Amino acid sequence: MFDLFPYLARVLHISSAILLLGGLFYAWNLSKYGKLADNPAYGFRPAVWSLIAALFLTGAYNLINKTNVPKEYHMLFGVKFLLFLHIAAVSLLLVKPATTPEKRARMLTGLAISGGIIIFLSAALRAISQ
Ligand code: HEM
């Protein structure tokens, strides 16, 4: 039977991932050419907080609904969660008004790397579970 809530949670999880990583990727490209606004905190700051909260809540819901997973699943998930903590902490520091543009550029490079790896891990979690 079609389950509406898990479906909606997945839609929200994937769209939040797209918006957060997409926004960070765009900012990273601008920062490479010194074109990032002096204070990208405007507008993007509430978005970053909301998207991180949405990823955490929908991700936890996804996880609770998982049954019958192989033992490697929890190991991969642990790595994914550590990367999530890195992405969440660094993006929140990034949108603090006091952060300097040079620091923002460095932070964005780290975020682009962690963002790429977390997608590989998420696809692996999907591939090894039902
Ligand atoms: C930057 C943060 C995150 C990104 C970019 C991200 C991205 C993704 C993506 C792309 C998927 C694949 C969706 C699919 O194919 O169904 C996924 C699935 C999932 N995510 Fe996340 N996620 C993030 C954070 C989290 C967090 C914080 C949790 C848990 C608290 C979580 C738990 C899950 C679970 C359980 C799945 C389902 C995997 C499976 O099919 O077995 N995610 N995530």
Q: What is the pLDDT of residues 31-73, one digit of tens each?
A: 999 888 877 667 799 999 999 999 999 999 999 999 889 999 9
Dihedral sign of CA atoms 87, 91, 94, 97 in order = negative
Tell me which residue has its CA closest to atom 31 in ligand 1.
59
- 98: CA distance to ligand 1 center in Å? 31
- What pLDDT is attached to residue 41? 66
Tell me which residue has its CA closest to atom 14 in ligand 1.
126
Dist CA 106 CA 93 (whole Å): 12
Tell me which residue has its CA closest to atom 13 in ligand 1.
14
CA angle 31–90–85, rounded 5-degree value: 140
What pTM value is reported for the model?
0.94
In contact, 52 and 108? CB cutoff 8 Å: no
Q: What is the pLDDT of residues 79-129, one digit of tens each?
A: 999 999 999 999 999 999 889 989 999 999 999 999 999 999 999 999 999
